Structures are given as C-alpha cells and as structure tokens.
Amino acid sequence: MKIKIFLAVFFLTSLVFYLHAQPVKVTVGQENGKWTLIREGKPYYIKGAGGQTFMDEVVKTGGNSIRTWGLEDAETILDEAHKRGLTVMLGLWVQHERHGFDYNNEANVRKQLDAFRQAVLKYKDHPALLLWGVGNEVDLFYSNTKVWDAVQDIAKMIHELDPNHPTSTVTAGLDSMEVQLISKKAPDIDIYGINTYGDIGNVKKNLRRFGWNGPYMITEWGPNGHWEVNKTRWGASIEQTSNEKAESYYKRYTDFILGDEAYCVGSYVFLWGYKQEYTATWYGIFTKDGKMTEAVDAVSKAWSGKAPENPCPALKGVWINALAASDNITLKASEINEAKVDIKYEGNEKVTYFWEILRESDDKKEGGDAEREAQSVSGLIRGNGKPGISFRAPAGPGAYRLFVYAGIKGKTAYANIPFYVSPRNPEDPQARFAEPKLYDMKSFNVSD
C-alpha cells in the first residue's frame, strides 16, 4: 500500500513539475558584427529539419531542431522533440489571401489574433520551444499588404506574453518590396526567414541590399525548384536525379548557409519526410515507405562533417533508348523501348531496383498546397528488378514519367525521366518483346 501511495505522489509531483516547467530562454543578439542565437546562455546554431517526422534520424544525422508550419499536434510534437533533445520552430499558420482570407475584414483578423494568443499562452513555456514562426509565405500571390500589419500584431502579442522566445516570419524567396514592408510594418519580427532553392546563392547579398540588417534563417532549402529547371516541349519540368540533388544539398549548405556566419543563424532543410509536390520525389528526402534518400547522406555530412558509414547508392542518370530527359523523348503508343540507369555503389549490400510508369501529374498546385498522387500505369515493364528494362509505351497518348528506384536496406536512390506518347498508326505492326533478353548488360554505362 505504501509503495502505491509513493508512486501516486511521485506521479502527481512529476506532473505538476511538468505542467509548471520553466521555459528555456532564447535570445538573439549581435556581438563583434555577428548575429547569434543564445539558448540557455550558450550560442545555438540551428541545424534544422523542416517537418515533424523521423525525429530519431534528425538526431542521428547531427541535427538539433525541427520546424512546423502550423499548430496541428503541437503538444505531441513538442514533447517528442524534447525527449530527443531537439528544439522546435513552432509555426503559426497565418491565413493566406490566395486561399480566400480577406485582411480588410477586421473581425476575422482579430479572431485569428485571438486564436494565436491562446496558442502562445499554452506553449510558451515548453522547454523544447526555440522560436515562433509567424506565417509562411503569406506574400505568395498576394496584393493586400495589410497582412504585414497582422503579422506585426501577432509578433507584438508574442513579445508581450512570451519574453523568452524570438519571433520570425517567412517569405517565398526574396523580394525587395517584402523586405522593406516587413522592416517598416513589422518591427517586432526578430529574425527574417527565407524559403529558397536554386536562388539560395543570392540571399546573402540581396537581403542586406534590400534593407534587412538583422539576423536571418534559411527556413526551406533543397534541390532546384520545379519552377527553376528546364522543361520539355510539352511543359514537363525535368527533375534532378537523387545524386544531383545530394550534391546540391551539400554545396548549398557549406557554401551559402555556413558561408554567411555573420548574419545567418541556421536553417531548416526541406522536406524532412515525404510529399507529393509536382512529383512523388521532388522535395521529400524520405520515400513514401520511409527510406532515406541520397539527400539524407548529404545533409548528414554537412551537419556532422562525416560521411555516412553505409552510403546510399549514387544514381547519376537514367535514359530511354539512349536519350536523356533533355532530348524531349517522344514514344509511339504500345511500342517497345529500352531504359537503363548509371549507378555507382561501393558497398557490400545487394542493390534492388524498382521501375514504375506514372502519368504526368494533372493536379499540380502552387505554394506547396496538397496534391493528388499521379496515376500509376501497370503491366508495361519487363525485367523489373534490374538496372535495365524493356517496357511497352502506354497505349494512351499524353505525358508520362518513368521512375526508377535503386535501394539497399533503409536507403533508396531514384530518378525519373519524362516522355510523351504519340498515337500509333492503325497499319503499324504490333510490337513484341524481344526474346531472349533485350539487353547486353555489359554495354551499360556504369560509373567506375
């Protein structure tokens, strides 16, 4: 009985302690011309992951923080992060004009502010909280600059209720007008956040040139965006291979994020998880089934300075009929074609291959809005599971992509190549798969 009473008292005492936990104070200041976050009295440089999944992998790869965009499951996320020694940039999803929110409607603006006030009161003392993210890309396709007045009101409210954590707001890339508006209209924003991809190399010079002289973070960064790359004649953006992306992640972190130590206080890599956005592989650095891609290896090396012991295969290229994506590949409906990959792997595990044909997505959105996954077309591939295949072009004319995944345990490299199917002439003979195999495997262009 005494043991039960002791355990009950211990539990209640622990609960009271948790509910009244002291916040971990975070400040931002400048010394000798260098901006720095100070957490618990010590300099804190953000090695962050954008997303709230795979937290154990954040720790294993050398990261120290995660970012959310809104308050969904905030308490659970904060608790799970704290268990692992991670901090959280907690997002307040400020409504977007492009989604129908009217910043001339004072009642709705006030209602949004009041909702955020309750959230700040609820989470401000959580020990995992690092800073507040007041809005994400509210400048995307907008016209009403009153949104910055709303951002200021939220940031000011946070400072009044929570003196222990700085505020930030995030823009879609950099535009001189937005920088000036935020500087003028939102003085309670402590740290500027920028989501940037192929243009990351211009942030350092442009941010100061546009008038922001305070600290900043790169709050999303990664591969080239789908709006920044070459397109096929039919308008399909050509995606980098996972190996090309890995090289981009590493170079952009070392050259441009670490390269501005005076003003940049850290970053959040995008996306620490899986997401359908333009394609199934463009931005997520994990696959849908939870496997790490080459980008995770690159980020791990960038954060820790050490190459992973068991690296992912390096998938350098994919071809159809010896043609690259830039060749605007057009295939005749139902005809037989060849595809192969160029891959480098020096480990001891067996590399497994999986090929898939998908229709070009017909649900492409802007600004990261949710999209439906592209439709898979089955029954066309022969030799799946190998680095080279034969496949029949789909019978229906239109735009498609051929995806290939090359994996070892827990890790997957990938690439895709767009192609267009034109109709068959009725008089064309029916194409058949060659027998025996279509390929001489020795002819594959495998990297040394």
Instruction: Give residue for tokens 């400072």.
Output: 159
Query: Are 41 and 152 in the same domain?
Result: yes
Cβ–Cβ < 8 Å for 333, 397: yes
At 281, the pLDDT band (50, 70, 90 cuts) reads very high
Q: Give the rounded percent of residues in the chain with a pLDDT score beyond 70.
A: 90
At 426, the pLDDT band (50, 70, 90 cuts) reads confident
Q: How far is CA 399 from the centre of its chain?
A: 26
pLDDT over 90 at 262, yes or no: yes
Domain-located, residue 349: yes
Strand partners of residue 328? none
- Residue 308 burial (CB count, 10 A): 16
- Supply the CATH number for residue 405's domain: 2.60.40.1930
Residues 393, 210: Cα–Cα separation, whole Å: 51
Residues 257, 438: Cα–Cα separation, whole Å: 47
Number of domains in the chain: 2
Identify the pLDDT of residue 444.
34
**CA atoms within a 13 Å half-sphere pointing along the CA-CB vector of 317:** 12
Residues 284, 300: Cα–Cα separation, whole Å: 15
Query: Are 299 and 359 in the same domain?
Result: no
Cβ–Cβ < 8 Å for 399, 234: yes
Query: Are 124 and 219 in the same domain?
Result: yes
Query: Are 217 and 357 in the same domain?
Result: no
Cβ–Cβ < 8 Å for 390, 438: yes
Identify the pLDDT of residue 425.
80
**CA atoms within a 13 Å half-sphere pointing along the CA-CB vector of 442:** 0
Query: Are 262 and 365 in the same domain?
Result: no
pLDDT in tens, 29-46: 998 999 999 999 999 999
Residues 112, 311: Cα–Cα separation, whole Å: 46
Residues 432, 140: Cα–Cα separation, whole Å: 50
Written as one letter, the residue type at 44 is: Y
pTM: 0.91
Query: Are 278 and 342 in the same domain?
Result: no
Q: Could you tell me the two tokens for 154?
A: 């939220």
Average pLDDT, the chain: 92
pLDDT over 60 at 19, yes or no: no
- Supply the CATH number for residue 87's domain: 3.20.20.80
Query: Are 395 and 332 in the same domain?
Result: yes
Element (H, E) at 301: helix 294-304
Q: Could you tell me the two tokens for 102?
A: 């009217």
At 434, the pLDDT band (50, 70, 90 cuts) reads low
Domain-located, residue 11: no
- Mean pLDDT confidence for 200-209: 96
Which of these three, 304, 329, 355, is where a domain ends?
304
Residues 3, 13: Cα–Cα separation, whole Å: 15
Which of these three, 252, 270, 304, is where a domain ends?
304
Query: Are 33 and 86 in the same domain?
Result: yes
- Residue 412 burial (CB count, 10 A): 24
Identify the pLDDT of residue 433.
61
Cβ–Cβ < 8 Å for 207, 256: no
**Which of helix, strand or coil describes residue 168?**
strand
Identify the pLDDT of residue 80.
98
Lowest mean pLDDT among 282-286, 288-292, 434-438: 434-438
Strands (E), 40-128: 42-43, 46-50, 65-67, 87-92
Domain-located, residue 300: yes
Identify the pLDDT of residue 429.
66
Cβ–Cβ < 8 Å for 197, 225: yes
Kindly list the distances between the CA atom of residue 240 and the CA atoms of 94, 342, 415, in Å, as whole numbers in the listed order: 32, 14, 7
At 309, the pLDDT band (50, 70, 90 cuts) reads confident
Query: Are 289 and 320 in the same domain?
Result: no
Instruction: Give residue for tokens 């050398």.
Output: 62
Lowest mean pLDDT among 18-22, 231-235, 302-306: 18-22
Cβ–Cβ < 8 Å for 196, 203: yes
Q: How far is CA 80 from the centre of its chain?
A: 20
Cβ–Cβ < 8 Å for 446, 342: yes
Domain-located, residue 65: yes
Query: Are 123 and 263 in the same domain?
Result: yes
Domain-located, residue 41: yes
Domain-located, residue 402: yes
Query: Are 428 and 320 in the same domain?
Result: yes
pLDDT over 70 at 200, yes or no: yes
Which of these three, 304, 332, 353, is where a domain ends?
304
Closest CA to 341 of 444, 224, 242: 444
pLDDT in tens, 103-161: 999 999 999 999 999 999 999 999 999 999 999 999 999 999 999 999 999 999 999 99
Range of the domain at 392: 314-443
Cβ–Cβ < 8 Å for 49, 272: yes
Strand partners of residue 193? 170, 217
Cβ–Cβ < 8 Å for 206, 263: no
Identify the pLDDT of residue 4.
47
Domain-located, residue 15: no
Query: Are 347 and 227 in the same domain?
Result: no
At 268, the pLDDT band (50, 70, 90 cuts) reads very high
- Mean pLDDT confidence for 56-69: 98
Element (H, E) at 82: helix 74-83
